[in-house]
Structure 1
């Protein structure tokens, strides 16, 4: 949805507003990060703390994008007036209607798309936060398994050596004369 807005601004040779651009960039990067961690899941398990950190960074990026788009939350898309908001909709708003731009024919649709993008941004905040927590706990589980394997291999070596040479309770080895 955001790419539709970005494309409209680019085709009209206008700068894309921050409230659209921040969400667009965060969403595109988030999609590629998600696909990368899913494809390389075994690497993600080994570096779970890093995955958790990057997911938290995405939470911050989506919070920033939702904050930028916050003014659309209270808009009534059924009775949407493009000039009612304090930010410009460019070719999608009042200026687009004045110039006859086909992108501005249905301002209610544009409002609904911005509201939907706002809602998806909020959902992305939640999903990246949950995956960050899951990645952190995955790291904790990996650490516990590593400690168990270290203790297990260490005790098995000790077990083999202690079966050959028994130590007395005083800590000295018994000497056997044959």
Structure 2
């Protein structure tokens, strides 16, 4: 039960953060396609990884029963996505130091304070580079998803170990009960054979 709650929680976080990541990067991919230009590798890699990870997250959340029984396989795929996101974020690492905003001082503005007089404030203008901000947001979402997929991989791995231990206990219990029933039936068969033997001679 706890596995289902935690696993679903982190899966929903992955889906929520992957959808805007795919949308942000699709904007760049579409722009380069319209210009008949090649999409840069640092954009394309993170875009492909995000699309595949989103499809995998949606598939596993809607087929939870199958995911829980194949927990070790789910953990393996999630670990692969952790490595893929780390590689994609590393390719986009230059954006971390980029300054996407430019603050400039504007003209002064007089503000009336009624009976308290007036005040003169210096206006401030903030210019934001849209492309830079979008790439930085995708970069941050990539880091978050590397962490999120690590959590789900750890949960699936622990759940898989618990399932295998439970299967071993079930096998031992069934094997023990089978031996016990075999032993209990053996004296009965010997007794019946002995009884039938006496009936033959009497």
Instruction: Find the counterpart in structure 2 of residue 32 from structure 1.
Output: 55
User: Are 1:50 and 2:73 counterparts?
Assistant: yes
- Aligned pair partner of 2:90 in 67, 92, 101: 67
Q: Supply the distance in 2 between the matched residues of 1:142 and 1:70 (Cα, whole angstroms).
A: 39
TM-score of the pair, normalised by structure 1 = 0.73
Q: Supply the distance in 1 between the matched residues of 2:91 and 2:46 (Cα, whole angstroms).
A: 8
Distance 1:135 1:60, change over 3 A: same
Instruction: Find the counterpart in structure 2 of residue 114 from structure 1.
Output: 135
3-state DSSP of counterpart to 1:110? helix
Instruction: Find the counterpart in structure 2 of residue 84 from structure 1.
Output: none
- Indicate if the aligned counterparts of 2:76 and 2:153 stay in contact, CA closer than 8 A: yes
Higher strand content, 1 or 2: 2
Root-mean-square deviation over aligned CA pairs? 2.3
Unmatched runs of 5 consecutive residues or more in structure 2: 1-23, 104-126
Q: Supply the distance in 1 between the matched residues of 2:166 and 2:34 (Cα, whole angstroms).
A: 55
How far off is 1:133 after superposition? 1.2
- Indicate if the aligned counterparts of 2:101 and 2:128 stay in contact, CA closer than 8 A: no
How far off is 1:68 after superposition? 0.9
CA displacement, residues 26-47 of structure 1 (integer Å, 9 cap, x when unaligned): 0000001111222222222332
Q: Supply the distance in 1 between the matched residues of 2:45 and 2:153 (Cα, whole angstroms).
A: 21
Indicate the structure (1 or 2) with the bigger Cα radius of gyration: 2
Unmatched runs of 5 consecutive residues or more in structure 1: 81-105, 167-172
TM-score of the pair, normalised by structure 2 = 0.65
Aligned positions of 1:1-178 closer than 5 A: 1-79=24-102, 108-164=129-185
Query: How many residue pairs were aligned?
Result: 146
